[in-house]
Amino acid sequence: MSTEDLAQRLWQARRSGQVIDAARVATPESVAEAYAVHWRIAEISGLPVVGFKIGSTSLEAQRMLGTDEPGSAPLLAPYVHASPATVPIVTAQAPCVEGEFAFRLGRDLPARATPYSREEIAAAVDAVAGAIEVVGTRFAGGLAGKGRLLTTADGGVNIALVTGAWTTAWRALDLPSHRVSMRIGGAVKGEGTGARALGDPMTVLEWLVNQQSRAGRGMKAGEIASTGTCTGLDPVAPGDGAVADFGALGSVEILFVPFTP
């Protein structure tokens, strides 16, 4: 199966709420090929790219995927929402929620030959928000065992991203120690701090900016970046309500409903 064929099948699975048998497709042979698949999906969709999700930023996620590095994928506009949001999900795609931090850029960071410093990147950040990423795989059988290459090809297994209120006073926050908790149906599930994401959500953003710079794309003013789970991976089903509490940053709320094509 070619990059084109896999991209077409994954995009149709996302649009129609289906799953694909991973044993019946050819796994991308390299990280570069896996990234090419999800960028081709973005092209096929014709939808605007409004930012990026970063995954595998916690040790737990890296162990599950058998990787030692993060991965990124473009966020497509119709799948990014403001809280409170209603998000359709497909049980067969093993949907889960992750509480994480999101950054919004206030200026362009174009591709260049030298890496961006943390100070340059922080100066470009316009605002920070709490967020819930809804993840789920378009490959049958759930998230475990799919590996870095299939996960990356599948758009980083993004289903949706819901952001809370944006704050421009983010520099006063200690993001590594900032606590986040996830409640589903009123019961506390995952909990953690910003340090769960590579030790500091800003470290994740630095990784992404320089990845996109090396790729020749860079990043644009107004784009957002979600920086990986601080609360772990908590399953959800249609009818559930999820609330991520970010303390001073407020809460992010989602009601899950059945997917209809």
Cβ neighbours of residue 63 closer than 8 Å, sequence gap 6 or more: none
pLDDT band at 70 (very low <50, low <70, confident <90, very high): confident
Q: Is 131:162 a contact under the CB 8 Å cutoff?
A: yes
Q: Is 118:157 a contact under the CB 8 Å cutoff?
A: no
Give the other-Cβ count within 10 Å of 251's Cβ.
17
Output the domain CATH number for residue 74.
3.90.850.10
Parent domain of 14: 3-258
pLDDT band at 144 (very low <50, low <70, confident <90, very high): confident
Q: Which two tokens stand for residue 14?
A: 């996302």
Q: Backbone dihedral region of 138: left (phi > 0), alpha (psi from -120 to 50 degrees) or beta?
A: alpha
pLDDT digits (tens, 9 = 90+) for 216-240: 999 999 999 999 999 999 999 999 9
User: What integer pLDDT is reported at residue 59 of this predicted model?
Assistant: 60
Is residue 71 pLDDT above 70, yes or no? yes
Q: Which amino acid is at 31?
A: V
pLDDT digits (tens, 9 = 90+) for 82-101: 999 999 999 999 999 999 99
* Dihedral (Cα; 248, 83, 188, 172), 10-degree rounding: -20
Is residue 58 pLDDT above 80, yes or no? no
Q: Strand pairing of 158-163 and 80-82? A: parallel
Q: Which two tokens stand for residue 161?
A: 């991203």
- How many domains does the structure of the chain reveal? 1
Interatomic CA distance for residues 81 and 50, integer angstroms:
11
User: What integer pLDDT is reported at residue 26 of this predicted model?
Assistant: 85
> Once rounded to an integer, what is the mean pLDDT over residues 204-224?
97
- Lowest-confidence segment of 79-83, 123-127, 147-151, 184-188 by average pLDDT: 147-151
